[in-house]
Each structure stands twice: as C-alpha cells, then as structure tokens.
Amino acid sequence: MLIVGSGLSYHKLRLFGPGMKVPSDAFDRWLDTTLRQPPAERTAALLDWESAPHARTCHAQEDHLVPQFAALGAAEAESATRTYHDTDLFGGVTASSWRFG
C-alpha cells in the first residue's frame, strides 16, 4: 500500500526569499530531528509541533504539514528518511520532505 502525504517543511508563499532563511532552517532542523526519533517520542513531539522553533512562521496554516502526519500515522513504527532537502529554495528557504518505511 502507498499513502502519499504531499507537502514540505516550509509553506508560507508570501514570505519566500532570503528573510526566511533562519526560520525555515530552524523549523526544518527541528522536524528532521523529531522525525528520526523513536515512534513514541516522535509522536509526542509532533503533537506539540506549534512549539517548535518558528513553527507558525513557516506554517501559518497547517494544511501543508498535516498530510505528513497522516502518512506518518499509517506508518507509525516505520523509520523516517529525508528524500528531499534544499537550503536555497526560491532564494533562501530551507525545505525538506520525508518518506516513512
């Protein structure tokens, strides 16, 4: 079975560019570290994702982050592998995507 949860670690279209380098990098690093934790710790951290560094700066609305949670829920015991990572997307944004299983 394949479940696709489309999205990135950053999604604030109005703020793409160099000014988002620090916030997007901080949130992306938090998300990468969190997704690599054992399932119980990972789930606990993700439930409180709004407390992550620059969470609401990078995701004013969670619509592009929640699909990742749905995919992860279907593969809860599986490990996370980062499949995409860019540190200069649209002139300064760090963004990543992950695969589970």
Residue 8 has pLDDT above 90, yes or no: no
Confidence of residue 77 (pLDDT cuts 50, 70, 90): confident
pLDDT of residue 35: 93
pLDDT confidence of 24, banded at 50, 70, 90?
very high
pTM of the model: 0.90
What tens digit of pLDDT does each residue of 25-39 get?
999 999 999 999 998
Please give the pLDDT value at position 9.
Answer: 86
Element housing 65 (H / E):
none
CA–CA distances in Å: residue 4 to residues 11, 20, 51, 68, 81: 18, 27, 26, 8, 14
Q: Which two tokens stand for residue 71?
A: 């995919």
